[in-house]
């Protein structure tokens, strides 16, 4: 899913999970001091920390603010709009991962981030995603219009 550019770094400083800013990529610090294999991108905070696995695109949340992580880079989202007339009308549940959609009658574009383990849908407002502007909702039968796709680009130190 993500285009990952690997750079080398000798220093890795652990910080609390709640210190990670939107747009930063991080790895979890294991109890033995090693870094986890997965690279996540922080996408928001609202009582829980929301992130996306930068390789699989899977969205996740964590209430553990004290968990130690290492910021290893940054990531960005880029949208790719369909040609006019190619939009797809569907329900919120019908929106696929990596698709960009807008609510029926609305103009705000959202990137679908997938489902959390509890079944709620996660999405990010594409025009303001670096300011924790995202939504998590239970609504799955709302009418929406898919207007394109998005991609994630990450620059990550190993």
Q: What is the per-residue pLDDT for 8?
A: 44
The C-alpha atoms of residue 71 and residue 90 are separated, in whole angstroms, by 37
Average pLDDT of the segment spanning 92-118: 87
Distance CA 122, CA 137 (A): 7
35 sits in the region (left: phi over 0; alpha: psi -120 to 50; else beta) called: beta
Dihedral, CA of residue 122, residue 125, residue 129 and residue 133, to nearest 10: -70
Q: Where are the extended beta strands (E) located within 54-96?
A: 59-62, 68-81, 88-91
Phi and psi (nearest 5°) for 19? -90, -10
What's the rounded Cα separation, in Å, for the pair 116 and 60?
Answer: 6
**Mean pLDDT, range 134-153, rounded to an integer:** 84
d(CA 121, CA 76): 20
Write the pLDDT tens digit of every residue in 69-104: 999 999 988 889 898 889 999 998 899 888 999 988
Residue 97's pLDDT is: 82
Domains of the chain, first to last: 2-77 (2.30.30), 79-150 (no CATH)
* Mean pLDDT within 132-149: 81
In this predicted structure, the answer to whether residue 136 has a pLDDT above a threshold of 90 is no
């Amino acid at each position: 899913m993500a285009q990952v550019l690997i750079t080398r770094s000798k220093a890795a400083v652990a910080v609390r999970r709640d210190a990670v800013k939107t747009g930063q990529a991080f790895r979890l610090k294991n109890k033995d001091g090693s870094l986890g294999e997965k690279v996540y991108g922080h996408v928001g905070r609202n009582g829980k920390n929301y992130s996306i696995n930068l390789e699989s695109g899977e969205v996740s949340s964590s209430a553990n603010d004290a968990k130690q992580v290492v910021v290893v880079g940054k990531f960005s989202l880029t949208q790719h709009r369909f040609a006019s007339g190619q939009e797809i009308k569907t329900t919120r549940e019908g929106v696929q991962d990596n698709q960009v959609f807008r609510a029926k009658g609305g103009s705000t574009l959202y990137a679908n981030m997938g489902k959390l383990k509890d079944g709620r849908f996660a999405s990010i407002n594409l025009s303001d995603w670096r300011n924790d502007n995202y939504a998590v909702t239970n609504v799955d039968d709302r009418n929406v219009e898919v207007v394109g796709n998005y991609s994630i680009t990450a620059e990550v130190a190993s």
